[in-house]
């Protein structure tokens, strides 16, 4: 039983680390930009439906965050 548990943990950790690292940054950046674009398109439509149902529209904006190394 302990050996099968060790193999399972090893397989899970290898599978989890495949999508981590510098090689995945360009792919993840494109996915992030696509998700932001899709949300910008969906937000006005959702607000139109909310206005139709007499609900308050919500406007959210994603801002770019940069890490500051302040001493």
Q: Give the pLDDT of residue 34.
A: 86
Q: List, for residues 19-41, the tens digit of each pLDDT value.
A: 666 676 777 778 888 888 888 88
Burial class (CB in 10 A: 0-12, 13-18, 19+), 9: exposed
Q: Give the pLDDT of residue 18.
A: 64
Global pTM exceeds 0.85? no
Q: List, for residues 37-57, the tens digit of each pLDDT value.
A: 888 888 889 989 989 999 888
């Amino acid at each position: 039983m302990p050996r099968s548990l060790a193999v399972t943990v090893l397989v899970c950790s290898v599978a989890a680390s495949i999508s981590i690292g510098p090689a995945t940054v360009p792919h993840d950046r494109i996915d992030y930009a696509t998700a932001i674009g899709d949300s910008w398109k969906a937000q006005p439509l959702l607000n139109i439906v909310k206005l139709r149902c007499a609900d308050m529209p919500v406007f959210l904006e994603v801002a770019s965050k940069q890490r500051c190394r302040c001493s």
